[in-house]
């Protein structure tokens, strides 16, 4: 169980862990990569550490080795796309995140620009089409209370900053939340994508949902949230 605790030191024992390729570490602490080419990666790292995960900022393909989960943060999707091309990260990311047999099916959380990166027109991992800056020029940023499938308790405060929404999605995609009838949170297998910034509030429930999937992945259970 990943609880709220201060990070404990961990030791990576080689790269050959249990089936699925997850590394074995002391104390069952998951190793979560945060794509750190650009954008708001530090706030995600803080939340994940607060929840007891070990965090690695990822800037190269080598940084993807041995991860149990990955967060693609918000930022600017055009800049992030250029960084992914520059570092030759598109294929390694697909190998890490695509469901088997194409990839390892390591859980991913994409937030805002991270959602855009996962869509059909970017990394092509999720069967969704994101519409950039979808809420219009007048409404650059706003907050909305969100009821999210899989998250219990009071609504989660979603912080939307020049946010996309999901304009199209395939049948394998489960929509978890909407704003004005537009999907803003979705999951497909081990991929979780949200149009808002869950890392900018004190509410850790979305990251916990992601880490629950990581725990199940590490335990070798089926690829479902
Ligand atoms: N508008 C940005 C884009 O299109 C996303 C904004 C964000 O990540 N906060 O890439």
Q: Ligand 1 center to residue 61 CA distance, Å?
A: 23
71-119 pLDDT, tens digit per residue, is 999 999 999 999 999 999 999 999 999 999 999 999 999 999 999 999 9
116-146 pLDDT, tens digit per residue, is 999 999 999 999 999 999 998 657 899 999 9
Q: How many helices (H) and strands (E) does the chain have?
A: 5, 13
Q: Is residue 153 part of a domain?
A: yes
Cβ pair 164, 131 in contact under 8 A: yes
Q: Is residue 94 part of a domain?
A: yes
Decide if 197 is catalytic: yes
Q: Is the pTM of this model over 0.95?
A: no
d(CA 100, CA 95) in angstroms, rounded, equals 9
Q: Is residue 225 part of a domain?
A: no
**Domain encompassing residue 27:** 12-218
State the catalytic residue, choosing from 44, 122, 169, 197. 197
Q: What are phi and psi of 195, to 5 degrees?
A: -85, -10
Confidence of residue 27 (pLDDT cuts 50, 70, 90): low
Q: Is residue 5 part of a domain?
A: no
d(CA 128, CA 148) in angstroms, rounded, equals 18
On the question of pLDDT at 23 being above 90, the answer is no
User: What pLDDT is stored for residue 140 in this prediction?
Assistant: 82
Q: Which atom of ligand 1 is nearest to the CA of 80?
A: 10
Q: Is residue 6 part of a domain?
A: no
Q: Ligand 1 center to residue 3 CA distance, Å?
A: 30
- The CATH code of the domain that includes 157 is 3.40.50.880
Q: Is residue 224 part of a domain?
A: no
Number of domains in the chain: 1
Q: Ligand 1 center to residue 192 CA distance, Å?
A: 17
Q: Is residue 118 part of a domain?
A: yes
175-217 pLDDT, tens digit per residue, is 999 999 999 999 999 999 999 999 999 999 999 999 999 999 9
Q: Is residue 3 part of a domain?
A: no
């Amino acid at each position: 169980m990943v609880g709220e605790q201060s990070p404990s030191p961990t030791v990576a024992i080689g790269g050959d862990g249990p089936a699925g390729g997850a590394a074995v570490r002391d104390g069952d602490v998951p190793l979560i990569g945060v794509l750190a080419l650009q954008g708001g990666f530090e706030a995600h790292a803080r939340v994940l550490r607060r929840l007891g995960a070990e965090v690695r900022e990822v800037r190269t393909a080598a940084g993807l080795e041995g991860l149990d989960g990955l967060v693609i943060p918000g930022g600017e999707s055009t800049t992030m796309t250029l960084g992914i091309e520059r570092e030759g990260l598109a294929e390694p990311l697909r190998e890490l995140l695509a469901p088997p047999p194409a990839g390892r099916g390591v859980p991913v959380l994409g937030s805002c620009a991270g959602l855009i990166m996962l869509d059909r027109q970017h990394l092509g991992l999720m069967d969704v089409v994101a519409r950039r800056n979808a809420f219009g020029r007048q409404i650059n940023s706003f907050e909305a209370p969100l009821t999210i499938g899989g998250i219990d308790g009071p609504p989660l405060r979603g912080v939307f900053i020049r946010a996309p929404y999901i304009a199209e999605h395939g049948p394998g995609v489960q929509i978890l939340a909407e704003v004005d009838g537009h999907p803003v949170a979705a999951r497909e297998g081990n991929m979780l994508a949200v149009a808002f910034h869950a890392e900018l509030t004190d509410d850790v429930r979305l990251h916990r949902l992601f880490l629950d999937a990581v725990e199940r992945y590490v335990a070798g259970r089926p690829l479902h949230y």
